[in-house]
Copies of this chain bind each other. A is one copy, B any other.
């Protein structure tokens, strides 16, 4: 089968590899209907993460079950499923506590930018749709694999509640989904930090009431103006850099929480400021499975359309161009069709 591999920074290839096979009774093999490129895939692509040359890359997918192991009883070949990027048995103490991304039997989905994917802990991880979804629902269903629950987790972690003023730092697909989550949770003002017109537009469609194009100190000043000097009730940090984290903390009112879901790269947390201002930090790897039933309902009922984050659809054969487009910010998020 064809699957995407990374050999070095900037070196993305589509290669022939054997199809995944069931090796554990909890495994499932998925024939991928749609996969995509994640903002976190750009870290190795840009040389910011170590790379094992020739390793496969891609962890988001939806598709049809091809085969299941003997202990996977709730799913059968032919089911259309959402595949969380992090897998879980959904029964261990951490899962039972809503921390499925820390499942004692958990792992990560692989092969998402290919023709077939392997899911460990399929019984606990997968969620099925009612029958085969319409083609126009696929992009939104695909966001349920990672990006929408990740934005949602950021808003949950930041404690967003009805009537809040929320700042979202980061206008990537996760940040945009954070805007959508905050708006869904009843935030009265959602301030999206973005200076890219197409992303600003999606942010507005997702419920942003304000767009702030300024960054750094100037961005912080604008937020202070909008919030009448008080700061935001909740802040969503959806990037993972030290600059983004600094802006997030400077935007938060005393007593607020910064939610964070961007893999931290070079972040030094301002512990003295956090202490002096009583600004907390919460978040991390999103427990996707926890949110799936609720978010799947929002998608299938047409309440939300997170698939708008995909502004580009490419055949799998053009995956390398997809990486370039996202790296150069010509595309927000690329959907790949095997």
A residues touching B (Cβ–Cβ < 8 Å)?
93-94, 97-99, 101-102, 157, 228, 230, 253-255, 257, 260, 263-264, 267-269, 271-272, 274-285, 287
**How far, in Å, is A255 (CB) from chain B's closest CB?**
4
Give Cα A285–Cα B279 distance, bound, in whole angstroms.
10
Give Cα A236–Cα B56 distance, bound, in whole angstroms.
42
Would A285 and B276 count as touching, CB distance under 8 A?
yes
Q: What are 16 inter-chain pairs, A to B, with CB distance below 8 A?
A: A99-B255, A99-B278, A101-B278, A102-B254, A102-B255, A102-B277, A257-B282, A260-B275, A264-B275, A268-B271, A275-B283, A276-B285, A278-B283, A278-B285, A280-B280, A281-B282
Q: Which of A157, A271, A279, A283 has the most CB of B within 10 A?
A: A271
11 new A-B contacts at CB < 8 Å, known A97-B254, A269-B269: A93-B230, A93-B253, A94-B255, A99-B255, A101-B278, A102-B254, A157-B278, A267-B271, A268-B271, A275-B283, A281-B281
Residues from chain B with Cβ under 8 Å of A274 in the complex: 281, 284
**How far, in Å, is A156 (CB) from chain B's closest CB?**
11
Would B272 and A278 count as touching, CB distance under 8 A?
no
Give Cα A268–Cα B271 distance, bound, in whole angstroms.
8
Give Cα A269–Cα B255 distance, bound, in whole angstroms.
19
**How far, in Å, is A98 (CB) from chain B's closest CB?**
6
Give Cα A263–Cα B285 distance, bound, in whole angstroms.
29
**How far, in Å, is A266 (CB) from chain B's closest CB?**
10
Q: Choose one: B102, B269, B278; the contact of A271 (CB below 8 Å).
A: B269
Closest to A97 in B: B255
**How far, in Å, is A46 (CB) from chain B's closest CB?**
18
Give Cα A282–Cα B279 distance, bound, in whole angstroms.
7
Residues from chain B with Cβ under 8 Å of A280 in the complex: 157, 257, 280-283
Would B284 and A276 count as touching, CB distance under 8 A?
yes
Would A278 and B269 count as touching, CB distance under 8 A?
no
Give Cα A93–Cα B277 distance, bound, in whole angstroms.
14
